[in-house]
Amino acid sequence: MTLDEIQSQLAAMSNAGDPTFSKFANDINQIVEQAKVGQLSNADVAEILRDAQSQLAILEDMSQLSFKETLNTCITGLIMIAGAV
Amino acid sequence: MKRLIVLLLPLLSSCAVYDAITMTGFDPNEYRIITEIRVDANHYKDACANPLIAQTNAVAMAYKTDLFEIYSEQIPGNDDGYKAAKSLNEIAQGLTRRYDIPPVPPLFCKLKYSSIESSAKVIQHTLGNRPR
């Protein structure tokens, strides 16, 4: 995959789908643009992109936790209803 | 209603339901630390142009994310929270390590704090919704 192909995929993602991931794709594309004009070294860009992967992992972990929180609330609600009946 | 509970019992064997029941509740200390991380990242971003202050801030941030990771580690039923804390700490430690090889571009520093701030916001939102 060439850099241009990656950037056009990111641009397509920026304009579609979930707003969180659209912003994410847009931010990454901007970082690549800044690297192209020499504002960041390749090593620095690699570090920032690794951070982007960590951010995705955090989003996934928190989404799992959020799901469990909702489930916990539902179960607690059911227990309360069961106790009241 | 008791019949409903009996019907739900088989569900209790599934991991997600078990995890949901045994998950840790809201922890004000944990919430406080992640809020501080988010606020600090937001303020430290503005000092990136001054290398001396920026390096001191990076060390302070790395200390706080380390505290957050270690605090989260021993909370029972907190696997997802701990994994997120570890990832956040790794982002912050990368900034401190970068100051060992100066000069650090202010843009790199700002992007690092943006990553820390947005991740801290996601974590803070989820921790704030934990059952009380």
Please report the ipTM that was assigned to this predicted complex. Answer: 0.82
Average pLDDT over residues A6-16: 79
Averaged confidence pLDDT in chain A:
85
> B88, B60 in Cβ contact below 8 A?
no
User: What pLDDT is recorded for position B15?
Assistant: 64
- pLDDT bucket at B12, cuts 50 / 70 / 90: low
Contacts of B105 (CB under 8 A, 6+ apart): A39, A40, A41, A44
User: What digits encode the pLDDT tens for the residues A54-71?
Assistant: 999 999 999 988 888 888
User: What pLDDT is recorded for position A74?
Assistant: 87
User: What pLDDT is recorded for position B30?
Assistant: 96
> B126, A70 in Cβ contact below 8 A?
no
Closest to A85 (Cβ–Cβ): which among B1, B16, B108? B1
CB atoms within 10 A of CB B12: 12
Rounded Cα–Cα distance for residues A5 and A10 (Å): 9
A42 vs B18 pLDDT, higher one:
A42
Which residues of B, range 65-124, sit inside 8 Å of A by Cβ?
80-81, 83-84, 87-88, 90-91, 94, 98, 105, 107-108, 111-112, 114-115, 118-119, 122-123
- Asked if A68 has any chain B CB less than 8 Å from its own CB, the reply is yes
Rounded Cα–Cα distance for residues A85 and A61 (Å): 36
pTM of the model: 0.85
User: What pLDDT is recorded for position B126?
Assistant: 94
> B109, B48 in Cβ contact below 8 A?
yes
- pLDDT bucket at B9, cuts 50 / 70 / 90: low
Provide the 3-class DSSP secondary structure of residue B14: coil
Distance, C-alpha B72 to centroid of its chain:
9
- pLDDT bucket at B113, cuts 50 / 70 / 90: very high
Residues of B in contact with A50 (CB under 8 A): 94
Lowest mean pLDDT among A73-77, B1-5, B38-42, B95-99: B1-5
Q: Whole domain around residue A71: which residue ranges?
A: 3-84
Judge whether residue B109 has pLDDT over 90: yes
- Asked if A39 has any chain B CB less than 8 Å from its own CB, the reply is yes
Judge whether residue A83 has pLDDT over 90: no
Total domains in chain A come to 1
Residues of B in contact with A85 (CB under 8 A): 1-2
Average pLDDT over residues B91-108: 96
B45 vs A19 pLDDT, higher one:
B45
**For chain B, what percent of residues have pLDDT higher than 90?**
76
Nearest CA among B105, B65, B94 for reference residue B82? B65
